[in-house]
Amino acid sequence: MEAVALGDRGTLWTYTIVRHKPPGDYRGPDPFQPFGMGLVELPDGIRVLAPLGCDVAELRIGLAMRFHPFVRIDADGGETVSFDFTPQPSESANV
């Protein structure tokens, strides 16, 4: 195995809307809000399954997306490094 750098832009290939709070140690917004989960196809053909950081009303197949890393801090001060993909409405995807 070896590390491979991936692009930070892609196209929303397909998605679903998660309407029920996932079980276990869910660390999203409280109270729970529905969110998109999608497959984003990168220019080299790899598809990444990831949460989609936008209002579910914005989602549509073919939407240009961009990788968005972030750090979430919980109530106890613990940090979780995470990511999602956010829409790039003014830019076209490279796929």
Q: In angstroms, what CA-CA distances link 72 with 36, 80, 81?
A: 18, 5, 6
Query: Per residue in 53-84, pLDDT tens?
Result: 999 999 999 999 999 999 988 878 888 898 99
The answer to whether the predicted template modeling score (pTM) of the entire model surpasses 0.75 is: yes
Q: Which residues make Cβ contacts (< 8 Å) with residue 59, sequence separation at least 6?
A: 12, 15, 17, 36, 38, 52
Domain boundaries, the chain: 9-87
Which of 38, 61, 60, 67 is closest to 50 using CA atoms? 38
